[in-house]
Structures are given as structure tokens and as C-alpha cells.
Structure 1
Amino acid sequence: MARILLTDDEDAVRAFVKRALELDGHQVTAAIDGADAFDKLTAEPEGFDLLLTDIRMPVMDGIALALAAARERPAMTILLMTGYADQRERAANLDALIHDVVTKPFSLDQIRAAVADALSCGDARLSA
């Protein structure tokens, strides 16, 4: 299965999503904010298949993280999450870099489906 870097500053959301994705067989590394995630991203020599990150976070938000991650690991698929309409609008400018934006709150089935879709599109992009 996939190696996923999950970033969310809300402990409950991070734990919920991490557990769900691990039950699906993925290897999930969790980060508490964008700066923590970027440190983990650059320290991991094998890289990650997917960056799943909240947009609104302290220290470094998800958009800044997505931009930095795309420069550092251009082949990695990026999936954003947000509960704020204004943040979703900010992400619209990143269409070339991100796969999609998942709206919070989401169900377990919704986040699993979004991750599966992002990973399958990432696999197709790498095969092309």
C-alpha cells in the first residue's frame, strides 16, 4: 500500500484519519503542522506517495506546505482538506499541483475514497 504524510493541527482529526488509513493498509506518518510535515518530508529518503494536509494550520499552512512539497517532491500526489470556504478558494489556484480538496467534516468512507482516488490518479500519472 501507500506511504502517506498526514498533516493536521487538530489531534482528533489527525488520529481519526491516521487510524482509518492504517486500517486500509497504508503506512501513515503524522505531522502536527506544515513545518513539522516539511521536516518529515525532507528527512524521508524514500519519500511519500501522498501528502494529505489540512489547509488552515499554524506555523506553515497547507498551501505553503503544498508549494514547498511540490518543489521538493514533484511526483508526489497532494490532497488538501479544509472546513473553510475561503481556504478552498485559495486552493483553487493550485490546480496544477494538487489532486483535490476534501471538505471537512468528512466521513470515514469519504476520506478513504478521496485517498484511494488520489493514489490511483498518482499511479496513473507516474505510469504515463
Structure 2
Amino acid sequence: MARILVAEDDDNVRAFVSRALEMKGHSVVEAEDGGLAAEMMLEHGGKFDLLLSDIKMPVMDGIALALSVGAQYPEVIIVLMTGFADQRERAHGLDALIYDVIPKPFTLNDLIQKIDDALAGKPVEIVSLARSGLSGLGS
């Protein structure tokens, strides 16, 4: 399966997310802030399939981390998560760089589905339409 770097400053959320991804068969490396995640990305030569990062973190926030990782390792898929609407708005300026933003709180199913979609390269718009029952366009 995929190799995923999880950057999240909340210990409980990080543990929940990591366990869920590992149960799905993914290899997970954890970082408790964006600065450590940037170091791990560099240490591993960018050999991650996906970066899952909280936006609001100490040391380096998720947006700065996404900009850094996207510039150095453009092949890494980036998914952000946040519980703050203003942070979600900041992330929308990064549409070309990130796959999507997962709003907190999220369910285990929502998280797994979003990560599966990102790894499969499914366009976000099509995923959203299919979930809303509007997949039969033109009928």
C-alpha cells in the first residue's frame, strides 16, 4: 500500500489517524509538527506517496509545510485537515498544490475514503458529485 507522512500536533488525532491508515495496510510515519515533518520528508528523500497534515500547528503550519513539500517533491500527494474555517479558506489558494482539505471533526470512514480517493487520483469534483447523488449528469 502507500507510504504516508502524518503531521498533526494533537497526540490523540495523530494516533487515531495513524492507526486507521495502518489498519488499511499503509505504512505511516508520524510527526508532531510541521517542522519535524519537513525534516522527515528531507531525511527520507521525499519517498512518501502522501502527506496528510493539519493546517494549524506550531513551528511550521500545514500550509508552509505543503508549500515546502510541493516545491521539493511535486510527486507527493498533499491532503490537509483543519477544524477552522479561516484555515480552510487559506488552503483554497493552494488548489494546484493540494488534493483537498478534510474538515475536522471527521469520521474514520470519511478519512479513509478521502485518502483512498487521493491515492487513486480521483478528481475531487467527481468524488463530491458522486457522493451527493448527482453522478447521473445529463439525464
The two structures share one fold, judged by TM-score above 0.5:
yes
Code of the residue aligned with 2:77 in structure 1: it is T
Does the Cα contact within 8 Å between 2:46 and 2:73 map onto a contact in 1? no
What is the number of residues matched between the two proteins?
A: 122
Cα deviation 1:29-78 (Å, max 9, x = unaligned): 00000000000000003610000000000000000000000011011100
Matched, 1:95 2:98: no
- Which amino acid counterpart does residue 61 of structure 1 have in structure 2? D
Query: 1:13-28 counterparts in 2 under 5 A?
Result: 13-28=13-28
Query: 1:113 Cα deviation (Å)?
Result: 0.4
Structure 1 unaligned regions, length at least 5: 123-128
Using a 3 Å threshold, how does the CA distance of structure 1 residues 37 and 105 change in structure 2: closer, same or farther?
Answer: same
Matching residue's letter, 2:66: A
Runs of 4+ in 1 over 2 A off after TM superposition: none
TM-score, with length taken from structure 2: 0.86
| Correspondence 1:40-59 to 2 at 5 A | 40-45=40-45, 47-59=47-59
Q: Gapped runs of 5+ residues in structure 2?
A: 123-139
SS of the aligned residue for 1:51 comes to strand
1:83-122 alignment runs, 5 A limit: 83-121=83-121
Structure having the higher Rg: 2
The percent of aligned pairs where both chains have the same amino acid is 56
Q: C-alpha root-mean-square deviation of aligned residues, in Å?
A: 1.0
Higher RCO (CA < 8 A, seq sep 6+): 1
Give the match's secondary structure for 1:58.
coil
Is the CA contact (8 Å cut-off) linking 2:2 and 2:50 kept in structure 1? Answer: yes
